[in-house]
Amino acid sequence: MTAYVIRNANLLGDEVTDLRIVDGVISEIGRDLDTGDAEVLDADGLIALPGLVDLHTHLREPGREDAETVETGTRAAAVGGFTLVHAMANTDPVADTAGVVEQVWRLGREHGFCDVAPVGAVTVGLGGSTLAELGAMADSAAHVRVFSDDGKCVSDAVLMRRALEYVKAFDGVIAQHAQEPRLTEGAQMNEGELSGVLGLTGWPAVAEEAIIARDVLLAEHVGSRLHVCHLSTRGSVEIVRWAKSRGIDVTAEVTPHHLLLTDQLAATYDPIYKVNPPLRTADDVEALREALAEGVIDIVATDHAPHPSEDKDCEWAAAAFGMTGLETALSVVQHAMVDTGLLDWAGVAERMSAAPARIGRVATHGRPIAAGEPANVVLYDPRATRVVEPSDSVSRSRNTPYRGMELPGRVVATFLRGRPTVLHGAVVEEVAA
Amino acid sequence: MRHLLSTGDLSRDEAVLLLDTAEEMLSVAERPIKKLPTLRGRTVVNLFFEDSTRTRISFEAAAKRLSADVINFAAKGSSVSKGESLKDTALTLQAMGADAVVIRHGASGAPARLARAGWIDSAILNAGDGSHEHPTQALLDAFTMRRHLAPAGDRTLEGRRVAIVGDVLHSRVARSNALLLSTLGAEVTLVAPPTLMPYGVASWPVETSYDLDPVLAKSDAVMMLRVQHERMNAAYFPSAREYSRRYGLDSKRMAKMPDDAIVMHPGPMNRGMEISADVADSTRSVIVEQVTNGVAVRMAALYLLLSGARTPEPTPGDAGGVLSDQTEGQA
């Protein structure tokens, strides 16, 4: 394997140094390292961050390979600076057995662009009535620790309680898609002034907050670990803050789009802005940013949700929920959090790498950039800018809500266990293991 | 005016021009030959994804009286029922050279998508989209109100008081009327049980009330909205009977209205539910007249969208152009 010396990287934005990468490991850190026969990468002006970890990605394989595959999704992830993505379970067939999660995990290894940690479904077929074989998935080669019916809420309180309890046996976590189903029947967008004017059925904040409130109390009662997916309202922030202050073992994520975009975009009736949970108000965005800075929200997770064009090139109500996010996540976080002074690069590394790896119980990712650690590293140019163009997507799908927006930053290189998956901003093709 | 998607897009001058033009169009209906050559050679497509015979034939009559070629494209029994997308339907109509598309769709915003997505260049006329808007219904309502309520010479509804009663939450008629009537200077009060009042209605340019009786006494026009049957079992109100008791308009309630106040309904009515039969058939009821005015208002909308007048000027002479066209056509 090629050895690399990365010259003059800015480590988490506070120390300029060289990094030597040999045999998949960061072997040495310091100024003016000997290059020897190593390949030298000039990282002047680039920030070095640990490889990003996404706790919430939809890779669509098996079943919707027209939207994304493990291969195309992990290529997009690498371009976005990710070295590990958690693949959500709402595939077809659903990832509710050891067989399916092992297949997805193995496809990730084979393509080699980015590690894939499959998420197991909580209930059989995401049906919300029978627990899936959580233990079998935990014991499989995929080593599943995160379980979620994402896309659907585990709304049955007894089933949620049992799931929270059951996964304690293997230190798993239930990642809840918090959405009270009866309060959101036919829901199309955030319930607020605009939904009433546009005649689009509202998705009220209380439908999210009521489930989160119930779940933190359940988690407290049974002494379990709970993770809240894509938290989107100020009220949810307050509940999680309260739960944490009580010592409840809860973590929470926010998506890049909920940190930047608001429900006002629905006025275009362009379903590129249709997502679940919906884009909320500017006040919610402010609360989410503050909570992420403060640590009440632990991580950023993309909820990368690719869809083929025909599922968005239609009327709002007929369109699919979701937006792509892997390739723009770091840029959006820089724009919303770093450039606004709310978070420094060490904070970004914590929230986009270390913390998600901890929540997913993945030992080899989200590690600090230090000698002896696995060489999962991303080099990022925060001074670059680009206008987002959907046709530039590495993902198979084009449903980015940032079309036409200028965003800061550019991933220059991504290293996965010492091998570059991205160099000079482009995917390195010959990476297969 | 390029499209007619929402009454919220209309300035007061544009709204008045539409009503004035409709006034001219109404006079056409009183002539022996009810036809103008204005849109000869233009194609108007009625694209109806929801059944609505009343609105469709109103648009059809309007387009035909302007001599346009009319194509009726109903979703049932067409390629749409075989799963064709709105986009492909639009591309087909574009290829066939539709000058205007009148669209009725169950999804809020479908007309806005047609107008903005780049699939089709035609003028788009919203004939009712989901629970969003129904602009020509509001225009014909305003037109009817103006004929009855505005003092001679007043082309707006300045100071007139209008109550809109019923399922405001799901009503595209209520939305379009609230915006248009406010633009024309009317004071609008929405009356509904709290469950059928839209979230965020406080930001609308209207008053609201949960109680019908006090509003009736100070209304120049009372518009009763249809209560859809599917609302009856969804806990919006306990029973049809209770709804009718609290929010229905019967002759006893009607007696509380000022003497010259009018009763309106966009139809189709549930007689005995939101409106009693004797009220619907009373001399105060202008419900049948609304239908007549619907054709005139739709003629005005099609004329202004298609006659090339992209920047309408609010002068009576402008609308008069329609009539000179007719003279020409008869010559």
pLDDT in tens, A184-203: 999 999 999 999 999 999 99
pLDDT at A391 over 70: yes
Chain A positions touching B106 (Cβ under 8 A) are: 317
pLDDT 10s digits, A218-246: 999 999 999 999 999 999 999 999 999 99
Same domain as B219, residue B140: yes
Q: What is the per-residue pLDDT for B79?
A: 65
**Residue where the block lists tokens 């194609």:** B43
pLDDT at B316 over 60: no
Q: Determine which of A308-322, A351-365, B91-105, B303-317 has the lowest per-residue pLDDT on average.
A: B303-317
Structure tokens at A61: 């394989």
Amino acid at A425: G
The SS3 of residue A259 is: helix
A269 in B contact zone (CB under 8 Å): yes
pLDDT at B82 over 90: no
Residue closest to B219 by CA, chosen among B264, B252, B251, B278: B264
Name the residue of chain B whose CA is nearest to A200's CA. B108
Inter-chain contact B130–A317, Cβ cutoff 8 Å?
Answer: yes
Report which of residues A431 and B180 the model is more confident about: B180
Beta strands per DSSP E along chain B = 43-48, 69-74, 100-105, 123-129, 161-165, 187-191, 207-209, 221-224, 262-264
pLDDT at B76 over 70: no
Structure tokens at B120: 């089709």
Q: What is the per-residue pLDDT for A374?
A: 98
Structure tokens at A55: 């706790």
Chain A positions touching B87 (Cβ under 8 A) are: 310, 313-314
For residue B62, being part of any structural domain is answered with: yes
Inter-chain contact A318–B200, Cβ cutoff 8 Å?
Answer: no
Inter-chain contact B108–A198, Cβ cutoff 8 Å?
Answer: yes
Q: Enumerate chain B positions whose Cβ falls within 8 A of a Cβ in A.
A: 85-87, 105-110, 112-113, 116-117, 129-133, 172, 175, 198-201, 203-204
Concatenated DSSP letters for B290-325?
HHHHHHHHHHHHHHHHHSS-SS----HHHHHHHHHH
Structure tokens at A234: 């100020």
Same domain as B141, residue B258: yes
Same domain as B14, residue B123: yes
**Residue where the block lists tokens 């591309």:** B91
B1 and B304 in contact (C-beta within 8 Å)?
yes
Chain A positions touching B105 (Cβ under 8 A) are: 315
Angstrom distance (rounded) from CA B141 to CA B167: 17
pLDDT at A370 over 80: yes
Same domain as B164, residue B110: no
Inter-chain contact A198–B105, Cβ cutoff 8 Å?
Answer: no
Query: Which CATH superfamily groups domain A52-359?
Result: Metal-dependent hydrolases (3.20.20.140)
Distance in Å, alpha carbon of B25 to nearest chain A alpha carbon: 31
- If one counts every other C-beta atom within 10 angstroms of the C-beta of residue A251, the result is 20
Same domain as B178, residue B253: yes
Residue closest to A316 by CA, chosen among A279, A352, A347, A344: A279
Q: What is the per-residue pLDDT for B234?
A: 85
For residue B2, being part of any structural domain is answered with: no
A120 and A95 in contact (C-beta within 8 Å)?
yes
Structure tokens at A271: 């379903």
Inter-chain contact A198–B201, Cβ cutoff 8 Å?
Answer: no
Distance in Å, alpha carbon of A199 to nearest chain B alpha carbon: 4
Same domain as B275, residue B151: yes
Inter-chain contact A197–B204, Cβ cutoff 8 Å?
Answer: yes
Q: What is the per-residue pLDDT for B321?
A: 44
Best mutation target, A315, A316, A403, to test chain B (most B CBs within 10 A): A315
Question: How far does Cα A213 stand from its chain's mean position?
Answer: 23
Distance in Å, alpha carbon of A94 to nearest chain B alpha carbon: 26
Q: What is the per-residue pLDDT for B230?
A: 78
Q: What is the per-residue pLDDT for A58?
A: 98
Q: What is the per-residue pLDDT for B80?
A: 65
∠ CA B75-B122-B62, nearest 5°, is 70
Residue closest to A59 by CA, chosen among A320, A393, A397: A397
Inter-chain contact B175–A199, Cβ cutoff 8 Å?
Answer: yes
Phi, psi angles (nearest 5°) of residue B83: 100, 10
The SS3 of residue B94 is: helix
pLDDT at A390 over 70: yes
**Residue where the block lists tokens 């000079």:** A424
Same domain as B192, residue B302: no
A270 in B contact zone (CB under 8 Å): yes
Inter-chain contact B107–A198, Cβ cutoff 8 Å?
Answer: no
Chain A positions touching B49 (Cβ under 8 A) are: none
pLDDT at B153 over 90: no
Amino acid at A77: A
Distance in Å, alpha carbon of A255 to nearest chain B alpha carbon: 26
Query: Mean per-residue pLDDT for A366-372?
Result: 97
Structure tokens at B224: 């009763």
Amino acid at B298: R
Domain with CATH 2.30.40.10 in chain A: 4-47+373-427
Active site residues of A: 303
Query: Which CATH superfamily groups domain A4-47+373-427?
Result: Urease, subunit C, domain 1 (2.30.40.10)
B19 and B139 in contact (C-beta within 8 Å)?
yes
A195 in B contact zone (CB under 8 Å): yes
Question: How far does Cα A40 stand from its chain's mean position?
Answer: 31
A68 and A61 in contact (C-beta within 8 Å)?
yes
Q: What is the per-residue pLDDT for B232?
A: 76
What's the distance, Cα to Cα, between the start and end of chain B in Å?
30
Q: What is the per-residue pLDDT for B328?
A: 36
Best mutation target, B89, B108, B230, to test chain A (most A CBs within 10 A): B108
Adjacent-strand bridge partners of A120: A147
For residue B139, being part of any structural domain is answered with: yes
Average pLDDT, chain B: 90
Cα separations in angstroms, A321 against A151, A279, A318, B4, B153: 9, 11, 10, 28, 52
Structure tokens at B58: 């109103």
Contacts of A85 (CB under 8 A, 6+ apart): A53, A54, A57, A59, A73, A74, A77, A114, A115, A116, A117, A304, A326
Chain B positions touching A188 (Cβ under 8 A) are: 108
pLDDT 10s digits, B101-141: 999 999 999 999 999 999 999 999 999 999 999 999 999 99
User: What pTM, to 2 d.p., does this model score?
Assistant: 0.93
A68 and A396 in contact (C-beta within 8 Å)?
yes
Name the residue of chain A whose CA is nearest to B178's CA. A197
Residues 141-180 of A with CB under 8 A from B: none
For residue B194, being part of any structural domain is answered with: yes
Domain with CATH 3.20.20.140 in chain A: 52-359
Residue B271's CATH number: 3.40.50.1370
pLDDT at B310 over 90: no
Domain containing B200 equals: 135-289
Phi, psi angles (nearest 5°) of residue B318: -65, -45
B175 and A197 in contact (C-beta within 8 Å)?
yes
**Exposed (0-12), middle (13-18) or buried (19+): which is A432, by Cβ within 10 Å?**
exposed
Same domain as B267, residue B193: yes
Name the residue of chain A whose CA is nearest to B200's CA. A193
Percent of chain B, pLDDT > 90? 80
Q: What is the per-residue pLDDT for A383?
A: 97
Chain A positions touching B175 (Cβ under 8 A) are: 197, 199
Distance in Å, alpha carbon of B214 to nearest chain A alpha carbon: 25
pLDDT band at A84 (very low <50, low <70, confident <90, very high): very high
pLDDT at A403 over 50: yes
Contacts of A116 (CB under 8 A, 6+ apart): A59, A70, A74, A84, A85, A86, A87, A104, A105, A107, A108, A109
Residue closest to A349 by CA, chosen among A370, A330, A327, A322: A330
Q: What is the per-residue pLDDT for B314?
A: 41
Phi, psi angles (nearest 5°) of residue A76: -60, -40
**Residue where the block lists tokens 């010479």:** B153
A206 and A235 in contact (C-beta within 8 Å)?
yes
pLDDT at B275 over 60: yes
The SS3 of residue A71 is: helix
Angstrom distance (rounded) from CA A312 to CA A302: 19
Q: What is the per-residue pLDDT for B307?
A: 85
The SS3 of residue A49 is: strand
Pairing of strands A4-11, A15-22: antiparallel
Same domain as B181, residue B115: no
Phi, psi angles (nearest 5°) of residue A289: -65, -45
pLDDT at B214 over 70: yes
pLDDT band at B326 (very low <50, low <70, confident <90, very high): very low
Angstrom distance (rounded) from CA B130 to CA B118: 21
pLDDT at B319 over 70: no
Structure tokens at B319: 């609308």
| Number of domains comprising chain B | 2
pLDDT band at B74 (very low <50, low <70, confident <90, very high): confident
Query: Mean per-residue pLDDT for A167-196?
Result: 98
Chain B positions touching A313 (Cβ under 8 A) are: 85, 87, 117
pLDDT band at A134 (very low <50, low <70, confident <90, very high): very high
pLDDT at B309 over 60: no
Residue closest to A157 by CA, chosen among A205, A213, A231, A227: A213
pLDDT band at B308 (very low <50, low <70, confident <90, very high): low
pLDDT band at A136 (very low <50, low <70, confident <90, very high): very high
- If one counts every other C-beta atom within 10 angstroms of the C-beta of residue A85, the result is 34
B38 and B32 in contact (C-beta within 8 Å)?
no
pLDDT at A431 over 70: no
Angstrom distance (rounded) from CA B133 to CA B104: 10
Distance in Å, alpha carbon of A399 to nearest chain B alpha carbon: 15
Adjacent-strand bridge partners of B126: B103
Distance in Å, alpha carbon of B299 to nearest chain A alpha carbon: 26
Chain B positions touching A269 (Cβ under 8 A) are: 108-110, 112-113, 116
Inter-chain contact A316–B105, Cβ cutoff 8 Å?
Answer: no
Angstrom distance (rounded) from CA A396 to CA A75: 10
Phi, psi angles (nearest 5°) of residue B294: -55, -40
Which value, in Å, is the radius of gyration of the alpha carbons in chain A?
A: 20
Same domain as B266, residue B143: yes
Angstrom distance (rounded) from CA B257 to CA B284: 10
pLDDT band at A13 (very low <50, low <70, confident <90, very high): confident
Question: How far does Cα B8 stand from its chain's mean position?
Answer: 13
pLDDT 10s digits, B25-72: 999 888 898 899 999 999 999 999 988 889 999 999 999 999 999 999
Same domain as B278, residue B171: yes
pLDDT at B323 over 70: no
Angstrom distance (rounded) from CA A232 to CA A276: 10
Which of A270, A314, A316 is closest, CB to CB, to B108? Answer: A316
Contacts of A196 (CB under 8 A, 6+ apart): A202, B198, B199, B200, B201, B204
Same domain as B12, residue B83: yes
**Which helix (H) or strand (E) element contains residue A16?**
strand A15-22
pLDDT at B192 over 90: yes
Query: Mean per-residue pLDDT for A32-44?
Result: 94
Amino acid at B243: Y
Inter-chain contact A315–B204, Cβ cutoff 8 Å?
Answer: no
